[in-house]
Structure 1
Amino acid sequence: MGVKKAILEKWMVAQKKHHLSDKHVQMARELGLNPDKLGKIDNHTQETWKAPLPQFIEEIYYKRFKREAPETVKPLKQIMAEQEKKKKEQKKAKEIRRKLRDENTDVSATDIID
């Protein structure tokens, strides 16, 4: 199941706003964090007892998955490009199926008339 484009765009905005790397964004996505709520977690300049956001994400990722980082890291732009490519391929396949169906109904309609 693919991720919606709007959600990926929210993650791109959060990545720029909070200065996160692709690795940290993927870790946060796997943890199920909300990109809109990262500002509450990242408030370490005012509340010095809080860890910086990238460090906090690494800590909770290690607690949950027992590893330092994801096995493969995909940038958000690459995920969006793959989704666009897949969507175009699906549209082409659907158009081909539609043409074949129309050709079959045209042939069967002429057979019935004869």
Structure 2
Amino acid sequence: MGKKKNNDAAWVEAKKRCRLNQADIQMAKELGMTPKGLLKNIPAPNQQWKAPVNVWIRDLYESKFGKVLSVKTSSRPKKVKQDKPVSDDYWDPDDLPF
């Protein structure tokens, strides 16, 4: 069982460092990828031509299976960001002359 825990920890690290979601992890596993392989394919700053790992996984999955797995979202509505309140007593520090 030691390998299972190590493998789970490796997937968690790959998910974090490659900025993947659960659907990306599932697609990578179905493609037979390993966490180590994903980490090795993180593009370096001088590799502008290389796609991010999540895009690379989705492209490979789509070319092999013809579709991409989607992430299930919650049914809760997203919070809407409120604008600044408009009133006479509101002041913005950016409006100060100094």
Q: TM-score range by the shorter chain?
A: 0.5 to 0.7
State the distance in 1 between where 2:50 and 2:58 align.
14
1:45 is matched with: 45
Task: Please list, as runs of the form range in 1=range in 2, the aligned pairs for 1:73-84 lying within 5 A after superposition.
Answer: none
Quick check: 1:44–1:51 contact (8 Å CA) kept in 2?
no
Quick check: 1:44–1:52 contact (8 Å CA) kept in 2?
no
Q: SS at 1:4's partner residue?
A: helix
- CA drift at 1:17: 1.5
2:82 is matched with: none
1:15 is matched with: 15
Q: SS at 1:12's partner residue?
A: helix
Task: Please list, as runs of the form range in 1=range in 2, the aligned pairs for 1:48-59 lying within 5 A after superposition.
Answer: 48-59=48-59
Taking only the aligned residue pairs, the percentage that are identical comes to 31
2:24 is matched with: 24
- CA drift at 1:5: 3.1
TM-score normalised by length of structure 1: 0.53
Task: Please list, as runs of the form range in 1=range in 2, the aligned pairs for 1:61-72 lying within 5 A after superposition.
Answer: 61-69=61-69
Instruction: From the two aligned structures, give the one with the greater helix fraction.
Output: 1
- CA drift at 1:44: 5.0
Q: Which has the larger radius of gyration?
A: 1
Aligned residues: 70
1:34 is matched with: 34
TM-score normalised by length of structure 2: 0.61
Structure 2 regions of 5+ residues with no counterpart? Answer: 73-98
